[in-house]
Amino acid sequence: MIYIVTIGLLLISVRLYIKYLTFFQQEHYNLKKFLHHTKNFYQNDYHVLVIYLLFIIYCLDIHLIINIFIGILLILISFAFKQMVIRLKVTKRIIRLLITTFLLIVVYIYFLIKITDISYTCFIITFLIPVTIIITNNINYPIEKIISFYYICKAKSKLAQHKDLLKIGITGSFGKTTTKNILTNILSTEYSVVMSPASYNTPLGISKTINNLLHPTTEVLVAEMGAYRIGEIRYLAEMVKPQIGIVTSVGPQHLSTFKTVDNVLKTKVELLEALPNDGIGIINIDNEYLKNYESNLKCKLVTVGIKENADYQAQRITYQNNQMRFSIYYQGEYLFEVSTNLLGYHNIYNILASIACACEIKKLGFNVSIPNIIEGIQKAQPVLHRLSVSKKDNITILDDSFNSNIEGFLSAIEVTKTYKIKKVIITPGIVDGGKKQEELNRRVGIAMGKVFDEVYLINNPASKAIEKVLQEVEYRDIHIYSRFIDAYNEVLRKYQNEEIVLLIENDLPDNFLERSS
């Protein structure tokens, strides 16, 4: 029995270590949040309950066959595949953490084996996993900072060699990635363009883009810039030194670190404030926070919008056959008409910002013709999980599952409203709203109640606010599930023979709740 318990504890230790190691792939993961997870680890994680049971079985020393059966069963249960909600990417940084951890565990074993047997040693090591990860991360921290500094300096040096490179920075609470992709599509019709891939919007991500992708023939760099704290956009802007800065939007995102929307605004406009005198700033004037932004900028400020009197404005917006069509005006004068596969009003703002940039770069010696602008927009495809459309049997799926925000959520509801068939939504709500979380979810809950025939909520504090507001308006078709996949499978089963449109709005909490504080 001692061997079964020992093997079980070792396997579960490895399992738990990998699970907790994934948290350190989040660059802004902090000690406070990790201590929160450590508490959950000891109190709630069912893997730990398995360890308790294995150890109790060992101590009771009941019949060998029963021990073996229960031990193997518990080990198999603990390795249920569906529990691996966050996949571990084996990067060089993770490898360094693993090496440090291995050395630390060797030290543990050296001292523990002198005072107890192997099973107790494994048991103790298993419960030291959270502490071990914190220790290894702190040991490696100076090394990681030196490595980061090296790559950032290398990127700055490489940028300095590209004297004629047009550099464009894009930031915002939401819409950064989509705007970056649209703009790259447009500019690529005339120039050699490098953009930061995926969501490479941190100092290391942008450095990697510059070091690996920038070539002597590159004419334009489009860099997405993300932030979780005041000062981080300024740092990225000083690093890249863009001539054009686009702020797509400002809203209640990442309030767990920013605390207030005012702090979000201050951080996003750091990009505009870092632009040179001959630079060009582009903002969404319809955004409730940006329209009140009192600019003391040295550079030119260009505005885009639908509602307000913007420099670049979209009018006569129509939806047809999973496409949007609208007209572009510059200071009240008609320019051209565009059609796109990108759906939702929030994407109109992303397109407008890209058009404004493509038109304004003439002042910096670059030029993109109107036919090429139209072609670039037509080629733009939805970013995966950002209101992309697909079909599964009778179900039209609007996949907007990438980390919801209030504007995108409401826009996705409006798009769903245009369909003339039964409407169903699966959502956990907006899960990163900080102190405004309940208010935001009440807003989307009210909108959902007016559009959807059935609502499937993923159980968490955010969705409880939606459930409450739906109950207040006597909405009855509410279904609560603990996991997204269960709700999704139920919808597929229920509507095998009926045509519906299904909006999936933010399916990330299966891992978000695993790491949120």
Q: For position 31, what pLDDT does the model report?
A: 60
For the chain, list residues with pLDDT below 70: 1-89, 119, 130, 253-257, 403-404, 432-434, 507-517
Residues 348, 275 share a domain:
yes
Q: Considering the domain boundaries, does residue 110 fall inside one?
A: yes
Residues 62, 198 share a domain:
no
Q: What is the CATH number of the domain that holds 249?
A: 3.40.1190.10
CA distance 492 to 483: 15
Residues 314, 217 share a domain:
yes
Residues 433, 324 share a domain:
no
Residues 230, 119 share a domain:
no
Q: Considering the domain boundaries, does residue 157 fall inside one?
A: no
- 26, 390, 473 from 384: Cα distances, Å: 20, 11, 34
CA distance 63 to 67: 6
Q: Considering the domain boundaries, does residue 307 fall inside one?
A: yes
- Domain hosting residue 443, numbered range: 388-515
Residues 130, 175 share a domain:
no
Residues 499, 360 share a domain:
no
Q: Considering the domain boundaries, does residue 331 fall inside one?
A: yes
Q: Considering the domain boundaries, does residue 153 fall inside one?
A: no
CA distance 130 to 19: 10
CA distance 394 to 495: 8
Q: For position 10, what pLDDT does the model report?
A: 62
CA distance 382 to 93: 31
One-letter amino acid identity for 23? F
Residues 366, 474 share a domain:
no
Q: For position 370, what pLDDT does the model report?
A: 94
Q: For position 499, what pLDDT does the model report?
A: 93
Domain count within the chain:
3
Pick from 174, 171, 168: nearest CA to 387 = 174
Residues 392, 361 share a domain:
no
CA distance 218 to 215: 5
CA distance 332 to 104: 67
Q: For position 46, what pLDDT does the model report?
A: 55
CA distance 38 to 488: 30
Q: Is 460 in contact with 513 (CB distance < 8 Å)?
A: yes
Q: Considering the domain boundaries, does residue 150 fall inside one?
A: no
Q: What is the CATH number of the domain that holds 443?
A: 3.90.190.20
CA distance 305 to 54: 62
Q: What pTM value is reported for the model? A: 0.74
Q: Is 289 in contact with 299 (CB distance < 8 Å)?
A: no
